[in-house]
Chains A and B, each alone.
Chain A
Amino acid sequence: MGKESLKPTDAEIVSQVLKGSVNAFESLLIRHKDLVLKIAKKHVPYDDVEETTQEVFVRIYQSLPTYKGKGDFKQWVSSISVRTCYDYWRKAYRSREVPISSLTERHQGWLEQVISEESEHALEEKASQKEAREVLDWALGKLSAEDRTVLELVYLEGLSVKEAADALGWSVANVKVRSFRSRRKLKKLLQGLIKG
């Protein structure tokens, strides 16, 4: 108990950094790097995780003066992380750098097998196969940056519409509509894949 209570809070470290102690920022980085990395790994391609997380921490550092110290710092950090990942995809779509993967009959067969599977264990096995990742990447690549981000947050991560709206800084209605549309698009894409 003693050791824990001696640790400075996030707000205290923020105020140290704001007074000019840049080195104090490292404590924030150590505390929250796992959270930031976890978010970035899920949202951006492996090759760009390091660069994106660096961008996240630069944004956190530059936004520190706007942190009011009232809300949860962790939540504030995750919100910046999600927005940075969203910006990554916006930039990628704008510069047309989204890798467009093509699927083969192997993927189609994999999808059909998934549908015909009955046991939970078999489904988990299917999920660990690389086809799962490739089908997911292919489907996400067909969506816009907005639809993709909302689908990832609500459909794949299981966040509530309110939580996703808070993370992205959008209205609840906007997230709700986007979530509905993106789900429908995903369903259509998968149906199209099965039909060949």
Chain B
Amino acid sequence: MKKEDHLKMRKVLTTAYREKEKALVGDLWQTRVMAHIKSLESFYPATSYLESFERFVWRLAPVVCVLLLILAAFFIHMDFISEYEMAKIFFEDPADISLFQQMLF
């Protein structure tokens, strides 16, 4: 294709492309768009401090629950008795204390 033929083609196709702008949209288009926008969940920050605090508390609630569950499990499985007994032996047996003192000094 010669350069001038290509230029002619470009001119015709560009004009045809611009003709598309003349298409019309329905009268209710704007109303429909606004209705859709209003139906969207508001993601903007809350206007009042109370609302912000409330949202913060609810967001934190699951984390606190999980933390409480972990702590509860930890305390249930912790062997209090054996540690108490070990401490008792350590303080009641003088030989162990002297050994301990020797180690220290």
Footprint of B on A, CB under 8 Å? Answer: 17-20, 22, 25-26, 29-30, 33, 37-38, 41-42, 46, 49-50, 53-54, 57-58, 61-62, 65, 111, 114-115, 117, 123-124, 126-128, 132-133, 135-136, 139, 152, 155-158, 187, 190-191, 194
Contact = CB atoms under 8 A, between A and B. Distances in A.
Interface residues of B, number: 34
Given A20-B42, A25-B34, A115-B8, A191 B47 contact: no
Contact of B34 (A18, A26, A156): A26
Contacts of B44: 17-20, 65
Given A53-B29, A62-B40, 15 more contacts: A20-B42, A22-B38, A37-B25, A42-B18, A42-B20, A58-B36, A61-B37, A62-B43, A123-B11, A132-B15, A133-B19, A155-B14, A157-B17, A187-B1, A190-B6
Contacts of B99: none
Interface of B is mostly: helix
B67 interface: no
B82 interface: no
Contact of B14 (A18, A156, A194): A156
A38 B20 CA distance: 9
A28 B40 CA distance: 17
A41 B14 contact: no
Given A41-B21, A127-B11, A190-B9, A50 B34 contact: no
Contacts of A156: 13-14, 17
B95 interface: no
A191 B1 contact: yes
B98 interface: no
B26 interface: yes
Contacts of A33: 30
Nearest to B35: A54
